[in-house]
Chain A
Amino acid sequence: MNRLKGMNRTTRKNYITYLVVIAAYVILEVLMRGGGLKAATKGMLVPICAYIVMALSLNLTVGIMGELSLGHAGFMSVGAFCGTATTMCLVNAIPSGGLRLCLGIIVGTIAAALVGFLIGIPVLRLRGDYLAIVTLAFGEIIKSIVGNVYMGVDGGRLKFSMFTNELNLSPNGRIIIEGAMGIRSIPRIATFTAGFILIMISLIVIFHMVGSRAGRAIMAIRDNYIAAESIGIPAFKYKITAFTISAAMAGAAGALFGNNYSSLIASKFNIDTSILVLVFVVLGGQGNMLGSIIAAAALTILPEALRGFADYRMLMYAIILIAVMLVSNNAKVKDILKNLAEKRAAKAMKGGAAHE
């Protein structure tokens, strides 16, 4: 406990985040083994993990880098399709589901990182609302393109075509991606443990990045672009690094997500999904990773928890969203929170003095 007190605040916060995630995993895993979870809840565990990784990834762009991205679902889509297609292709070659999933996630991550890097080159030259609208545009473009890809395996060879099915597969060939119909009869090999590992890796990557020289440079650029550039920080280089990492993580989340359902279509990853993830980040607090995790988990469960309200549940969801934004930005509430924080700080100071 004393060691925990001796650490600086950021390190302590990072460890608390790790602990919360591990504790949640252990508790849920025990509940699942003991049969204490309903089937509906069990089915939501992997999507929640995927959304948590998405929220962490977007928080890197929005919270740490300070740029609004409205096309994050696009990277998730690239990861989902590449990752799922990989696991589908390897069904016969690699019998172990875990290994296949791992390979699928790696392929999805690399593909999304590549797309993120290529999109980042033009996008990161813009700023503010213009950057936001261009990411939205790229998200829609990715959706249109992915929804028109046809891919099949035929005798160990991959075949591709765009817009129409011109694969000309032989009778023992297998179609994998079927344009707007997407991928069907996926073996569903994603597991909760894989989701947990992915969250932990994402957290480690983000915390290391934020604490590093690159992270400090990125936050300096966020806080004052001109000042940062004038002391010789290569803004574009650091921004594209962060953006690519963010896209890669979204790809990993997508690959996990895609392998959890029996079918996958491109139109699932539309602007609504991008916005959903943005809501997680803003409600959880920009730059606050634990906040993102809690918001992603809570808001994914909320519509299920509101099932009692039947038809009214999405209405309730909207009202809760607006109410939270209004209350958390209310001047009076902010004053009260500020007073509380000041009192706590004063108490800590007093305690510290007495200790010495």
Chain B
Amino acid sequence: MSFLNYLVSGLSLGSIYAIIALGYTMVYGIAKMLNFAHGDVIMIGSYVCFFAFTRYGLNPFISVILAMLVCTMLGIVIEKLAYKPLRAAPSLAVLITAIGVSYLLQNMALLLWSSNPKVFTPIVGKPGSNSFTIGGLTVSYVTLLTIVTCVVIMIVLTTFISRTKLGKAMRAVSEDKGAAQLMGIDVNTTISVTFAIGSGLAAVAGILLCSAYPNLTPTTGSMPGIKAFTAAVFGGIGSIPGAFLGGLLLGIIENLAKAYISTQISDAIVFGVLIIVLLVKPAGLLGKPMREKV
């Protein structure tokens, strides 16, 4: 495989990380919490799509919509039941609750669907051939779909945040909850909407992830979740372009490290790069430096 091939597959993996990282970064920006259960929402989305598409043979488009709907509902329910009562609690208490929710989702999946891996069928691709060639570069349909989806999501989300009223409300809440409330913004609804969008995106990320790496188990979401969280911090947590950039860079670094250095320590290299970036730029690549007032 050539360098260009590694780069493209890294870009595809990075796109998946970027979509997951968007969920982390939006929730962090608005609720100032590390939502550890996000990775498991990905897994639930993948299972829903698996059953709809692979088991019951529904139209792939409908399966994706169904998975997104289920995850959106799940995100809202989790926020309402577990996180909303803790709005005023110390951040560590919220973190532990998020970890509890993560265990809960994983174990529910384990009971419902067992730990045997399910083989996910990619949602795109013609029978017989699942890749095409341009100028000596072989690209699978899944890779192309992943990169295109990521770009579309990025454009739509940026427009939504900067142009719509709800997007403006989200920015206001993330800046100052109290002031936003005084301006007549419904803070609770805004936070719910953020969770809904993040979880909906998680479903998309899960489906793309399982199309590329087809083994689906109840712990499928954990490691990509942690990596995407790293990507969000890498790009500057709370910043949407930062999550995009961080995700892409992380995917590329991981793939190149796997190809040219060692598969065994590619994770160590990814985390090593994160540490170096944070030491040089403590707020991440695109994060705003925090000023402390005395």
Chain A residues with CB under 8 Å of chain B are: 62, 68, 122, 125-126, 129-130, 132-134, 136-138, 140-141, 144-145, 147-148, 163, 180, 226, 271, 275, 278-279, 282-283, 286, 311-312, 314-315, 317-319, 321-322, 325-326, 328-331
Q: Contact at A126–B282, with CB atoms within 8 Å?
A: yes
Does B70 sit at the interface, judged by CB under 8 A? no
A314 touches B271 (CB 8 A): no
Are A312 and B99 in contact, with the CB atoms below 8 A? no
Q: Is the interface of B mostly helix, strand, loop or mixed?
A: helix
Least CB separation from B114: chain A residue: A311
List, in ascending order, chain B residues with CB within 8 A of A283's CB: 96
CB of B274 within 8 A of CB of A133, answer yes
Which residues of chain B have C-beta atoms less than 8 A from A132's C-beta? 34
Q: Given A129-B34, A163-B262, check contact A325 B96 (CB 8 Å).
A: yes
C-alpha gap A133/B226 in the complex (Å): 10
The answer on a CB contact under 8 Å between B103 and A321 is yes
In the bound complex, residues from chain A placing their C-beta under 8 Å from that of B264 are 144, 147-148, 163, 180
B195 at the interface (CB under 8 A from A): no
A278 (CB) vs chain B CBs: closest residue: B96
Among the listed B100, B267, B279, which residue makes an inter-chain contact with A122, where contact means beta carbons less than 8 Å apart? Answer: B279
Bound complex: CA of A122 vs CA of B276, how far in Å?
9
The smallest C-beta distance from A332 to any residue of chain B, in angstroms, reads 11
B1 at interface, CB cutoff 8 A: no
Quick check: which of B5-13, B61-69, B83-91, B179-187 contacts chain A, the rest being far away? B83-91
Query: Known interface pairs A282-B96, A315-B107. Does A134 touch B278 (Cβ–Cβ under 8 Å)?
Result: yes
Report the interface size for chain B: residues with CB under 8 A from the other chain.
42
Contact of A315 among B89, B108, B274 (CB under 8 A): B108
**B53 lies within 8 A of chain A by Cβ:** no
22 contacting pairs across A/B (C-beta < 8 A): A68-B95, A125-B279, A129-B28, A129-B237, A132-B34, A133-B278, A134-B275, A137-B272, A140-B267, A144-B265, A144-B267, A145-B268, A147-B264, A226-B294, A275-B99, A315-B104, A315-B107, A318-B100, A318-B101, A318-B103, A326-B82, A326-B86
Looking at the assembled complex, report how far the CB atom of A145 sits from the nearest CB atom of chain B, in whole angstroms. 6
B268 surroundings in chain A (CB, below 8 A):
140-141, 144-145
Q: Give the top 8 A-B pairs by smallest Cβ distance, nearest first.
A: A137-B271, A144-B268, A318-B103, A321-B100, A318-B104, A322-B100, A329-B89, A315-B107
- Give the complex CA separation of A132 and B233 in angstroms: 11
Q: Are A271 and B99 in contact (CB under 8 A)?
A: no
Q: Which of B92, B104, B108, B233 is in CB contact (< 8 Å) with A322?
A: B104
With A134-B275, A137-B274 as contacts: A286 and B99 at CB distance below 8 Å: no
CB of A126 within 8 A of CB of B100, answer no
Are B278 and A126 interface neighbours, CB within 8 A? Answer: yes
Q: Is the CB of B274 within 8 A of A134?
A: yes
Beta-carbon contacts of B250-294 to A below 8 Å, as 1s and 0s?
A: 000000000000101101100110110011001100000000101
Q: A137-B275, A321-B103 are in contact. List 12 more A-B contacts (CB 8 A).
A: A129-B237, A130-B278, A134-B275, A137-B274, A138-B275, A145-B265, A145-B268, A282-B92, A318-B103, A319-B100, A325-B97, A329-B89
Interface of A is mostly: helix
How far is A266 from B34 in the complex, measured between Cα atoms in Å? 26
Which residues of the partner chain B approach A68 to less than 8 Å between Cβ atoms? 92, 95
Shortest CB distance B219–A (Å): 10
A226 to B111, CA, bound (A): 50
Which residues of chain B are near A271, meaning CB under 8 Å? 226
Cβ–Cβ contact A330 & B100, under 8 A: no
Q: Does B275 contact A122, Cβ atoms closer than 8 Å?
A: yes
A326 near B96 with CB under 8 A, answer: no
Closest Cβ of chain A: how far from B235's Cβ, in Å? 12
A137–B272 Cα distance when bound, in Å, is 7
The residue in chain A whose Cβ has the minimal distance to the Cβ of B268 is A144
Task: Produce 1/0 per residue, B48-91, CB < 8 A to A.
Answer: 00000000000000000000000000000000001001101110
Give the Cβ gap from A98 to chain B, nearest Cβ, in Å. 36
Which residue on chain A has the smallest CB distance to residue B103?
A318
Interfacial chain B residues near A325, Cβ < 8 Å: 86, 89, 93, 96-97, 100
In Å, the complex CA distance between A68 and B92 comes to 8
Q: How far is the CB of A204 from chain B (nearest CB, A)?
A: 27
Which residues of chain A are near B96, meaning CB under 8 Å? 278-279, 282-283, 321, 325
